[in-house]
Amino acid sequence: MGTPQELERLFSPKSIALIGASNSIDKWGGFVSLHILKGGYKGKLFPVNPRHEHILGLPAYPTIADIPEPVDLGIVMVPADKVPEVIEEAGKKGIGGLVVITSGFSEVGADGAELERRSVEIAKSHGVRIVGPNTMGILNTYINLYAIGASVFPLCGCISFISQSGNLGTQMLLWAEKEGVGVDQFFGTGNEADITTIELLRYLARRESTRVILLYMEGIDDGRKLYEVLSETTRKKPVVVLKAGRTGAGARAALSHTGAMAGQADIFEAALRQAGCIVVKNPTDLLDMAVAFSYLPLPRGDGVAVCTLGGGWGVVASDLLIESGLELPPLDDEVISKLDKLLPPFWSRANPVDLVGQADLHIFTTSLHALLEPDYIDAVLTMGAFGSDEFMMRIADAAAELIPEITEKEAGEVKKFAAAIQREFMLETLNAMEQKGKPILGVSMSPRAKLVYNLNNKTLILFPTPERAVKALKGLYQYHRYISRVK
C-alpha cells in the first residue's frame, strides 16, 4: 500500500504516456487523449502508437521504450489482452503508475479475473501502481489534468470524488461543471485491482486542497479497514457517501458492474454513520452536500429560523425541518419587537416568519439579522426573495411585446434594475452570514438559478427546492454533532 506522499507524486504527474492513443475520436484512445489536450494539461504528453508518427498533432512513439524522457504516469487504452505486455514495458521504463482505462477483466468473469491477477502481479514485480482496470479515468484540476472518458471540465475547487462507477462519476462532474461547483480531484476506481478506495481516502485526507470528500461505493473487500480509515478521515474533513446496492437487485447489478460485493446494506450504512460519514440516498444529494460543506459554516445546534415571502413556503419548510429532526424555536419578545417595527401588523409573529410579500431589501436584510442574533437560532432558511427577479423580467418581456409605448430598451432597463436588486439580496445575505458565522440556506424560485454564485470573492449557495436545502442543513448539523463528540 502506497503512502499518501507517493500517491501525491503519482496523481500530480509532470509527464504522461498516452499508451494506445489514437487519431480516431470514436475510440477510447482518441477521446481520452483529446480530453487531456483540451483540458490544457500543464505537463508533457507522449502518445504511444506504432502505426502513426503523430497523434492529435503530437509526435507519437512506436513503444514506451522509445520515449526519450522519463515518464511519471501512463494512461492505458489498449485491448485487455495487451495490458500485461504494456505493464511490463512501463515497468522497465520506470513509470511509477498506470491508469488502466481498458475493460474486460474481473467484471466479466473468471477469464477476465485471471488476466487481472496476472496484470497486477507483473505490476508489483516492477513497483508499478495501477488505477483500475475498467476505470473512467482520473482528474486533477490543479494541473489541468482531465484524463477521463467524458467531455467534462469542472472548475478548480475543493471537492474530491472517489467513484466505483465511471459513468455516475462523470455525470456528477457534468453537474458540477453546469452548476459552477469547483472540483479538486476525481478517481474512477474501476475494479480496484491495486489502488483501492481505502488508499485514496488516506491520500485525500492529507491533501490540503481537498476540503470535502465524496464517495460512491458499490462494495468493499475489507470492511473493517474501511471503517478505520473513514473514522480517521472524518475527524479531519467531511466524507459524504452514496452506498449503492442497498436492495437485492442493486447488489446483483453491482457484482456484474465492477465485480464488487455489496454487503449487507443496513449493517454497512450503520457502520458508515458510526464512522462519521454523511450517508445519502441519491446522486443529487452528493452534490448538494458537497456544496454545503464547501461554502457554509456548520450550525452549532438544531434551531432553525425560517424566513419567507409567503405563508405556504413556511408551512412546507416547517414540515420538512421537523421531519428531518431539526427544530423551529419560538421567537422571543426581543426578536418579535424588532420585526414589529418592519412588518405589517398582521404578520405571523412566529417562526416561520412570513414577510407577507414584502420583497423589500431593507426589510429582508434587517429581518435576517434579527433572526440570526439569538443564541437559540443556529441557521436560517429563507425562501421567496431569491429568484423573485424572474417575475419582473417576465413582466418586462410581456410589456415590450404587448404595449406599443414600451420599447425593448425600456424593458431592458427594468430587467437590469431587477437583476441589480437581486444581486443586493445576495450580497446582504453573504454579509450577514459572514458577520454571524451561522449558515443561511437560500431557496431560489427561478428556473434559471444555479447552486453556486461567486460575488466579491464570496460564495452564495441557492438550492432549487426547500427539501434539498433542508437535507443539506441536516447533513451539516449531523457532522457538527459528530465532530463535537470526537474532538
The number of distinct structural domains making up the chain is: 2
CB 48 within 8 A of CB 17: yes
- CB-CB neighbours of 348 under 10 Å: 17
Residues 333 and 243 in one domain: no
Is the same domain home to 318 and 285? no
Which residue among 293, 320, 347 closes a domain?
293
Q: Which of 250, 276, 293 is the last residue of a domain?
A: 293
Residue 121 has a CB neighbour count (10 Å cut-off) of 11
What's the pLDDT score for residue 4? 83
**How do beta strands 15-19 and 44-48 pair?**
parallel
Element at 326 (helix H, strand E): none
**CA atoms in the 13 A half-sphere facing the CB of 158:** 16
Alpha carbon 283 to its chain's center: 9
C-alpha cell belonging to residue 191: 475494479
- Check whether residue 354 and residue 267 sit in a common domain: no
- Are 413 and 288 in the same domain? no
Both 191 and 239 in a single domain? yes
Angstrom distance (rounded) from CA 239 to CA 289: 10
Supply 187's cell numbers: 478517481
- Per DSSP, 352 falls in state S
Structural domain harbouring 409: 296-486
Q: Which amino acid is at 35?
A: H
- Write out the chain's pLDDT in tens, 487 residues: 678 888 998 999 999 999 999 999 999 999 999 999 999 999 999 999 999 999 999 999 999 999 999 999 999 999 999 999 999 999 999 999 999 999 999 999 999 999 999 999 999 999 999 999 999 999 999 999 999 999 999 999 999 999 999 899 999 999 999 999 999 999 999 999 999 999 999 999 999 999 999 999 988 888 899 999 999 999 999 999 999 864 454 444 444 444 444 457 788 899 999 999 999 999 999 999 999 999 999 999 999 999 998 878 889 999 999 999 999 999 999 999 999 999 999 888 999 999 886 778 899 999 999 999 999 999 999 998 888 788 778 888 888 888 988 888 888 888 888 888 889 999 999 999 999 999 999 999 888 888 999 999 899 999 999 999 999 999 999 999 999 999 7
> Are the C-beta atoms of residues 73 and 97 closer than 8 Å to each other?
yes
Domain boundary among 263, 293, 323: 293
Whole-number Å distance between alpha carbons of 184 and 161 = 8
CA gap 132, 105 in Å, rounded:
10
Q: Within this chain, do residues 268 and 226 fall inside the same structural domain, yes or no?
A: yes
Please, what is the Cα angle at 91 between 86 and 94, to 5 degrees? 125
**What torsion do the CA atoms of 124, 129, 134, 136 make, to the nearest 10 degrees?**
-170
Q: What is the pLDDT of residue 1?
A: 67
Q: Residues 273, 381: one domain? A: no
Structure pTM? Answer: 0.92
What cell numbers appear for 343 in the block? 412588518
CB 315 within 8 A of CB 384: no
E runs forming strands in 170-277: 183-188, 212-217, 239-243
* Overall size of the chain counted in residues: 487
Identify whether residues 373 and 270 lie together within a single domain.
Answer: no
d(CA 257, CA 4): 28
466-486 vs 283-295: helix crossing angle, rounded to 10: 60
- Residues 427, 189: Cα–Cα separation, whole Å: 40
Q: Examine the domain organization and report whether 36 and 119 are in the same domain.
A: yes
CATH of the domain at 463: 3.40.50.261
- Residue 339's alpha-carbon distances to 211, 314, 353, in angstroms, are 38, 17, 9
Q: Does 160 share its domain with 219? A: yes
Looking at the fold, whether 310 and 278 belong to one and the same domain comes out as no
Grid coordinates representing 317 are 419548510
Torsion of CA 201, 202, 205, 210, to 10 degrees: -60
Same-domain check for residues 269 and 325:
no
C-alpha cell at 368: 435576517
